[in-house]
């Protein structure tokens, strides 16, 4: 009986490569379509083993990056950190923690190191972002835990911002404008557009 240590599947699951122990010895085998196909244990097949380990490392790294891409991003910010680069903080100037969660469409800014129980009465901001009626909309809350929407801004089809807009923009009109802009951008980037006009 083989005790499997690690397994990888390749070619859409057609091949399964198993690394393990069998009868107290190293086992390195391959299955094709779920059936025994090749035993590489006794071949001294170091190339296959090295490729197995490299592939496993790459799969682990890809899984790690995929997890990181869905997790909120957190950093600390101080005065001018966003608009004008960074400058030295004034003594006792507060530092804030900004957390961005793209999966939820949320940006939270709160004093660094302050627990939820101690937040009341301190400067804080929560932004919620969504696409509503084909247009981006930002909601500004007065409390990061359970605040009410204090303001909302909607990007209108003409490129302007509307504050506290109650009506929903026409998604079809916005969609058509965006499709036209994408088509124009694509035509400007095509190789033909780089050539001089023919006489």
* Residue 33: pLDDT over 70: yes
Q: Phi then psi for 81, rounded to 5 degrees? A: -60, -25
Residue 7: strand pairing partners = 18
Q: What is the pLDDT of residues 132-175, one digit of tens each?
A: 888 888 999 988 887 788 888 988 877 788 888 777 777 888 88
pTM over 0.85: no
Q: Which of 174, 167, 105 is nearest to 138 (CA)?
A: 105
Q: What is the pLDDT of residues 10-19, one digit of tens each?
A: 888 899 988 8
With tokens 């209108």, the residue in question is 156
The encoded tokens of residue 10 equal 């390749």
The encoded tokens of residue 97 equal 């923690």
For the four alpha carbons of 10, 16, 17 and 18, in that order, the dihedral sign comes to: positive
**CA distances to 129, 135, 155, 187, 195 from 182, in Å:** 23, 16, 18, 9, 21
Measure the CA–CA gap between 161 and 154, rounded to whole angstroms. Answer: 6
Q: Which of 139, 89, 145, 75 is nearest to 116 (CA)?
A: 145
Q: What is the pLDDT of residues 66-79, one digit of tens each?
A: 887 777 777 777 65
- Own/partner contacts of 172-175, CB < 8 Å, gap of 24 or more, are 172/134, 173/134, 174/133, 174/134, 174/135, 175/134
Per-residue model confidence (pLDDT) at position 197: 47
């Amino acid at each position: 009986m083989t005790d499997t240590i690690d397994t990888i599947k390749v070619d859409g699951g057609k091949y399964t490569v198993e690394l393990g122990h069998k009868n107290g010895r190293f086992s390195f085998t391959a299955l094709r379509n779920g059936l025994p196909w090749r035993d590489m244990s006794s071949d001294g097949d170091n190339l296959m083993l090295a490729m197995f380990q490299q592939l496993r490392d790459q799969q682990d790294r890809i899984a790690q990056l995929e997890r990181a891409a869905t997790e909120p991003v957190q950093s600390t910010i101080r005065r001018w950190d966003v608009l004008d680069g960074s400058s030295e903080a004034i003594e006792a100037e507060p530092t804030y923690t900004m957390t961005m969660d793209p999966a939820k469409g949320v940006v939270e800014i709160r004093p660094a190191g302050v627990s939820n129980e101690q937040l009341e009465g301190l400067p804080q901001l929560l932004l919620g972002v969504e696409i509503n009626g084909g247009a981006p909309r930002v909601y500004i809350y007065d409390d990061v835990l359970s605040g009410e929407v204090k303001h909302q801004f909607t990007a209108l089809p003409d490129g302007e911002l509307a504050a506290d807009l109650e009506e929903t923009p026409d998604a079809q009109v916005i969609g058509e404008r965006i499709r036209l802009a994408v088509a124009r951008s694509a035509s400007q980037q095509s190789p033909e557009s780089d050539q001089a006009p023919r006489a």
